[in-house]
A and B are shown apart, each in its own frame.
Chain A
Amino acid sequence: MSIDWLVPAILTIVTAATPLVFAAVGETVVEKAGVLNLGVEGMMIMGAIAAFATAVSTGSEVLAILAGAAAGLLLSLIFGVLCVYLQSNQVATGLALTIFGLGLSALIGHSYVGATFDGLAKLDIPGVSDIPTIGPLIFGHDVLVYLSVISVALVAWFLNSTRAGLLVRAVGENHDAAHSIGYSVMLVRMGAILFGGAMAGIGGAYLSVAYTPLWVENMTAGRGWIALALVVFASWKPWRAFFGAYLFGGITIIQLYAQGMGVEVSAQFLSMLPYLATILVLVVISRDSAKARLNAPACLGKNFHVSG
């Protein structure tokens, strides 16, 4: 088999992985701060429709991506107010976010079904992008792909090497202690939640402006949940989440190429692969419970309230 087959395959992996990278890295920060936001799916789908609607009506890709981020951010703001300030149950609120996002996106998207636009352009540096194999592999992606890699690096640096990142981890580790030393647990958590919302929104935007530039109801198809699983899989480490996302991109590829190569399996069974793989990965990673607990932020999912 020639290399001609490999390059488009890798490009497909990259486009399949990129939305997961954004969502998973955003959620990593949220969870590091001790908050479990199960609304990633809802924020992604809202990001997708907001970006798509903006792209169709303005034609501007930059505005589209910003709109996606803003939609995710707004939704996460609701989540943050409810969980951080009104002490609502994080699991229930996250689920509400997903149900609400799916409904609202369908309502808004109603009039955009069938609309099209060109989609996010690939980078094209004359000379460099034309180099065989290496050109398209390294210089042939759209701008969001590069942004996703940069964001992973920035988040990893932020969490591990800055005082603010230390504070985020501290709040997720022991919110009572952080409070008594004099930090605002609520403010830190709110910041993390909003960042996670914007990142999920961009991840959703990627789906509707770059991956498949059109609007389909429920087009996230569980990617928000897969992103949540990736965070666990990655033991709350940004770079591991990045590689996890590419692993899942790879599974998506099997699905597409198996059919192309005439493998005799029903499409439905191939479509199950990402979900089954997620389950498998979760089982493997959580099997060693002591280790899993060691990596998880100690206050994950617990609400904080100033008492006494």
Chain B
Amino acid sequence: MLIRLEQRPEASNIMVYVSPLIAVVLTILTAMIMFGALGVDPAKAIETFFIEPVSTLDGVAELLVKATPLVLIGVGLSLGFQANVWNIGAEGQLVIGALAGGGLALAFYGQSSTLLVPAMLVCGVIGGMAWAAIPAWMKTRFNTNEILTSLMLTYVGLLVLSYLVHGPWKDPEGQNFPESRLFHDSALLPILIDETRLNVGWLLALFVVVLGWILMSRHIIGFQIKVIGMAPMAGAFAGFKENRLIWITLLISGGCAGLAGVIELSGAIGQIVPSISPGYGFTAIIVAFLGRLHPVGVLFAGLLMALTYLGGDSAQITMNLPNAVTGVFQGMLLFFLLASDVLIRYRVRFGPPRVKAEAAE
């Protein structure tokens, strides 16, 4: 064989960071080919997709609005993924968190207390945690696979949302649209830049990034998460309790998703609608991997993925492309990332193996 994979003696630290860049480049190249096949000028398409959306202040603000939930959830998920706890139900936790916070806004409608927004945020976190606590309990108590339970609960969560907006929480004056009434101003997150939707949610996301970074790099909990994820037996040897970490990681990721949900409602949407999130909870999985399961990496990855949402919208408006292109982009990006990650542990060699002069130890 001419091309071979050869194991590196030590995993490459450089490739850890280069691999996402390779994946992005490959995705853009493939996308250009795809656009060409669809009969669209590739250069124009790339411009519409990646540059046009952020060429205005409003566009940049929208980018940050969309990045907020992705970064928040991405940080939470990355903790769990490092411990081999696969919470893929963040979408459901986002919805339940949003409902918990939004329900509070509706219950205290018209009360102009400054405590309402903080209380909503807290409710959102608790709602998300509660939804994530179910798979955590089932996994620690019955050893049930959290991938399947958290995902099934997402479908259940979406149906709860559908029930509420079609039923009890429907706006009585809303001409029978399945939507709640608009939140009162006191239930809306403060806006950072006038005339845009950019709100303090973005600052909360940045705060969570910093917290996550400290937790993972310096705190014993982060250390335990990494050890359990890489070598569970070594974790047991050191006395780390796996069940405790399953609880911690699921609660943190659920709480982050719930917070993202309530920020989306009270910062960007302003009422409860049948579709709160365009799949942020799933896209955040890609964000987590693309960001190398590192909070700061997640921040950049979240911005990039937010751009694909904006690009999809802009391509739909100006070029009449279906915005499903976004999903294809995201999936492709993850494939390319996983493929280029092979370079972290292996190097590509051409020709037969070389014999080194040094002897074995």
Contact = CB atoms under 8 A, between A and B. Distances in A.
Q: Do chains A and B touch in the complex (CB under 8 A)?
A: yes
Contacts of A103: 324-331
B341 A88 contact: yes
Given A283-B138, A287-B142, A268 B160 contact: yes
Contact of A91 (B147, B335, B345): B147
Contact of B142 (A276, A283, A307): A283
Interface string A88-122: 11011101110111111011011000000000000
A228 interface: yes
Interface string B327-352: 11111101100110110011000000
B156 A101 contact: no
B152 A107 contact: no
A259 B248 CA distance: 41
B145 interface: yes
Given A272-B156, A272-B159, A286-B142, A89 B338 contact: yes
Contacts of A78: 335
B144 interface: yes
B159 A225 contact: no
B286 interface: yes
Contact of B156 (A109, A110, A275): A275
B156 A276 contact: yes
Interface residues of B, number: 46
Contacts of A91: 86, 147
B49 interface: no
A287 B141 CA distance: 8
Contacts of B88: 95
Interface of chain B, helix or strand or loop or mixed? helix
A100 B86 contact: no
A110 B330 CA distance: 18
Given A99-B327, A286-B145, A268 B322 contact: no
Contacts of B5: 86
Interface size class of A (residues with CB under 8 A): 35 or more
A106 B322 contact: yes
A12 interface: no
B155 interface: yes
A99 B329 contact: no
A107 B327 contact: yes
Nearest to A38: B147
B226 to A, nearest CB: 16
B292 interface: no
Contact of A279 (B7, B149, B167, B335): B149
Most A-side CB within 10 Å, residue of B329, B338, B339: B338
Name the residue in A102, A110, A279 with the highest tally of chain B Cβ atoms < 10 Å from its Cβ: A279
Given A87-B345, A278-B152, A268 B328 contact: no
A104 B159 CA distance: 25
Contacts of A96: 286, 331, 334-335, 338
Contacts of B329: 103
Contact of B148 (A92, A106, A282): A282
Nearest to A96: B334
A49 B335 CA distance: 21
Contacts of B160: 268
B152 A88 contact: no
B196 interface: no
B162 interface: yes
B153 A268 contact: no
Contacts of B145: 232, 282, 286
B152 A275 contact: yes
Contacts of A232: 145, 148
B151 A222 contact: yes
Interface string A218-231: 00011001001100
B328 to A, nearest CB: 4
A2 interface: no
A109 B153 CA distance: 27
B159 A269 contact: yes
A275 B149 CA distance: 9
The residue in A99, A110, A269 that gathers the most chain B C-beta atoms within 10 A of its C-beta is A99
A89 to B, nearest CB: 7
A160 interface: no
A86 B156 contact: no
Contact of A82 (B7, B144, B328, B339): B339
Contacts of A217: 324
Nearest to B167: A266
Contacts of B324: 103-104, 106-107, 109-110, 217
B175 interface: no
A191 B117 CA distance: 55
Nearest to A307: B7
B289 interface: yes
A229 B339 CA distance: 27
Interface of B: 5, 7, 86, 88, 138, 142-145, 147-149, 151-153, 155-156, 159-160, 162-163, 166-167, 282-283, 285-286, 289, 322, 324-332, 334-335, 338-339, 341-342, 345-346
Given A99-B330, A268-B159, A279-B148, 14 more contacts: A78-B335, A86-B341, A88-B341, A92-B289, A93-B335, A96-B338, A101-B331, A232-B148, A266-B163, A275-B155, A283-B149, A287-B144, A292-B143, A307-B7
Interface of A: 38, 78, 82, 86-89, 91-93, 95-97, 99-104, 106-107, 109-110, 217, 221-222, 225, 228-229, 232, 266, 268-269, 271-272, 275-276, 278-279, 282-283, 286-287, 289, 292, 305, 307
17 contacts: A82-B339, A91-B86, A95-B88, A95-B334, A96-B286, A103-B325, A104-B327, A268-B159, A268-B163, A271-B159, A272-B155, A272-B156, A279-B148, A279-B149, A279-B152, A282-B138, A307-B7
Closest 5 CB pairs of A and B: A103-B327, A100-B331, A106-B324, A268-B163, A96-B334
